[in-house]
Amino acid sequence: MTETTASAREGRRKVREGEVVSTKMDKTAVVRISRRIAHPLYKKIITRNSKFQAHDEKNEAQVGDLVEIMETRPLSKTKRWRLVRIVKRGELAMAAEETAA
């Protein structure tokens, strides 16, 4: 595959940002994406959550991290997303790094 086709495809894939809520599976992180909408009738702001299973090849994401995930081909029955990068480390991950150092 040429680089132009690969970069063109990257532009069409959905990219989302969310919080890691579980890393109990091998090479998989469950990411919660929250969006805030107004109730159609009462206009109160409500938070709606969606959970996606993302492929984490190096098992580097930890619970509480803010991560960016991208749409990809089906990797398993439920995995259709992959981890692109860790935007911000969570408090639990930072505490674990400090105790290890």
Q: Give the domains, in start order, of the chain with CATH numbers.
A: 14-100 (2.40.50.140)
Confidence of residue 2 (pLDDT cuts 50, 70, 90): low
Q: Give per-residue pLDDT as tens, 67-87.
A: 999 999 999 999 999 999 999
> What's residue 15's pLDDT?
96
Residue 7 has pLDDT above 70, yes or no: no
DSSP string, the chain: --HHHHHHHHHHS-EEEEEEEE--STTEEEEEEEEEEE-TTT--EEEEEEEEEEE-TT----TT-EEEEEE-S--SSSEEEEEEEEEE--HHHHHHHHHH-
Query: Residue 3: what pLDDT?
Result: 60
- Give residue-wise pLDDT tens across range 32-65: 999 999 999 999 999 999 999 999 999 999 999 9
